[in-house]
Each structure stands twice: as C-alpha cells, then as structure tokens.
Amino acid sequence: MALKIALLPGDGVGPEVLAQAVKCLEAVEETFNQHFIFKEAPVGAIAIDKKGTPLPDATLKLCKESDAVLFGAIGDPKYDNDPDAKVRPEQGLLQLRKELGLFANIRPVLSHPTLLDKSPLKKKVINGTDFVIYRELTGGIYFGEKKLNDDGTKASDLCEYTEDEISRIAHLAFKAAKGRKKKLTLIDKANVLESSRLWRKVVTKIGESYPEVALDFMFVDNAAMQIILNPKQFDVILTENMFGDIISDEGSVIGGSIGLLASASIGEENALFEPIHGSYPQAKGKNIANPIASILSAAMLLEHFGLTEEAWAVKKAVDKSLKKGVVTPDLKENSQYGTNQVGDFIAHNIVDIEDDSLMNDENIDLGKSTII
C-alpha cells in the first residue's frame, strides 16, 4: 500500500513531535514492507509569516490530494496576546477541517498502568479507564455567525446545528459503541440550549436502530465532574463541538499528560491525525516535548487504513517506552530522555516488538537507546 501523507508540522513543538511520528512510520515501512509518500507544507503562524495566511492554497491543495494528513500543532503567543489580530493561526486549522469535511473528531482516553501515579487523580479512580470521545467538528458555535458592534461593547457567536450534521457523527459513535462495551453517553445542555434539545431528539431516534447499545444523557456541567469522579463509567461519549473541545482536554489528566492523547478527524473522503496538545511554545527547540501523542496519532492513521498489525506494533513500542521509563520529563522528573531520544527508542522497537534482546537495559538507564 502506497499512502500519500501530507505533513503539516505547524508551530511551536509541532515540527519536533511530528518528526518522531514520521520516524515511526518509516520504521513501519521497513518492518512491514509498506510505502508512504511524505510531503510537507506550512500551516498556522509560520504560514502567516511566510504567506500571509494560516492556510495557504498550496497547503490545502496538498491535503486534498493526499490520502491523509499528519498534523503537528498550531498557535503562537504573539497572536494569543493580541485581541485585535484579524488573522490567527487557529483559523487555518478550522478552515482545513471545513474544507476537508472533517466532521468527526475521535479522541481515545485511557489510563496507562505504569503512569497511574502521574495523574492528579487517585489510582483507584482512574485505573481501568478506557473511553473514546466522538466530537462533532465542523458545526456549532465555532463556525456560527460572529458579530461585534461598532464600538466593540457587544458580541455574539451563533451556535447552530442541522439534523444531518448530528446524524452523521451519531451513526459513527453508535457503530463504535457496538464494537466496545455497548454504551453511548450524549453530553449536552438540553435544559438550556435549543441546539442541545435537537441533539437529544436526533440521537434518540437514531438509537432505535442500535438496540444493543445502551444510550444515556448527561448535562455537560455534570459530565465535567463525572469524568473526574468516575471516568470508568464511560464507554463512548458523543457531543457537540465546543463541549467536546473542553471535556477532551479535561480527559488528559487521566493519562497523566496531555502529551499522551492522540486524535483522528474523519470525513467522508479525508482524514487528519494529530495530538490534542497545543503548540507549547515555551518548549520549542528544547527537546523536551512529549512525542507520544503524535506517534499514537500515526498509529490511528494506520488503523484507519486497515493496517492493524502495523498500528499494534507502534502501540506496543509505545507501551515498552512507558514501561522502561524512556519518556520525556513531563512523565518522569529529571528524565535524561528528550523528544528525539524517545522517538528513536519507539521507532527502533517497532522493528521487533517482541524481542527484548534488542534492548540493552543498562544503556537505557544511562540515557541511551541501544539496539544490539
């Protein structure tokens, strides 16, 4: 299989973590006789600096002509701290999602046995957590009409959804639940918002076609609390754009680091894979950013194209890095390993994931990933 993969490194630590994901895909090429064609293009703040727009036409063209997009990160403080900026890096990602029709964002959240003590939550609360969030991605308040009066004293953002927008992601979520623990929770604010009441109506009707899946509902404020108090109660979460943006970041505390969470954004014809973390500009160029979320995004890409054995090898190599403590400082204080070293270790261990003779534990302890 020859897959054309557009690489959009973006801003901050995006290029650094994306480079590690590419290393792992190259290891998959070598090990499984696959073939990936990589081509890079600018997006976000770096694209504004170079081209005057966060999503240049050439970048969009490349993405549309590729089988998938592998994304780094987006954002820059010089825009975050300027409320009057008319062009912002994040606009590029929002436009890209809209242009590619990426209506479903899929974010797995699970606890790692070796990292339970890294979460601020109690081990007994998070141990065994394994749920996935299906977030609608191209509708709602982020894409609704925005208004600001002439003197800048009154603003509004329209939250709007259609039945079709709700239906297409609801079917994906129900199908996912059928293959998991057969439970789906719709998170909304139906006691206040008319758009949420439409979500409940449409999802309830669709649920009749999936009788094996138990459907329940939860207000978003309660859900934010329940994810902290009892995350194991969830299997598949379905929600709208803004609510999903918020609760998926909240879910990162379960794993102990936002640097562990990958995501897939899926449309009818296109797919984009990215870590959920931001551009982390404070760490840019310091070789300390956690690349695991980006690497797991590459694993999700492989799964999307039916390369399940290849994806399994990537995930097992990640598991080995976590168990052996070959991780960045966000997961292990005073770690000697940087972004590049963690990426090298995981890529090397994709070659033969079951052969522990490939690993020299003494050298690992000295901060060297050594293949013997």
* Catalytic residue ranges: 142, 189, 221, 245, 249
* Contact by Cβ (8 Å): 186, 215: yes
Helices (H), 3-88: 14-32, 45-51, 57-65, 77-80
Please tell me whether 164 is known to bind a ligand: no
* Contact by Cβ (8 Å): 104, 135: yes
Phi, psi of 12, rounded to the nearest 5 degrees: 55, -125
* Contact by Cβ (8 Å): 238, 187: yes
Residue 179, SS3 per DSSP: coil
Residue 295, SS3 per DSSP: helix
Please tell me whether 221 is known to bind a ligand: yes
Distance CA 36, CA 292 (A): 20
Please tell me whether 135 is known to bind a ligand: yes
Phi, psi of 266, rounded to the nearest 5 degrees: -120, 140
Please tell me whether 76 is known to bind a ligand: no
* Contact by Cβ (8 Å): 232, 185: no
Please tell me whether 180 is known to bind a ligand: no
CA nearest neighbour of 166 among 138, 130, 208? 138
**130: β partners:** 110
Distance CA 306, CA 309 (A): 9
Please tell me whether 107 is known to bind a ligand: yes
Classify burial at 177, counting beta carbons within 10 Å of its beta carbon; exposed 0-12, middle 13-18, buried 19 or more: buried
Q: Work out the end-to-end distance of the chain between its first and last CA atoms, rounded to an integer number of angstroms.
A: 30
Residue 75, SS3 per DSSP: coil
**105: β partners:** 135, 265
Distance CA 42, CA 33 (A): 29
The dihedral built from the CA positions of residue 318, 319, 325 and 327, taken in this order, carries a sign that is positive
Residue 184, SS3 per DSSP: strand
Residue ranges of the annotated binding site are 97, 107, 135, 221, 245, 249
Residue ranges of the annotated binding site for substrate are 97, 107, 135, 221
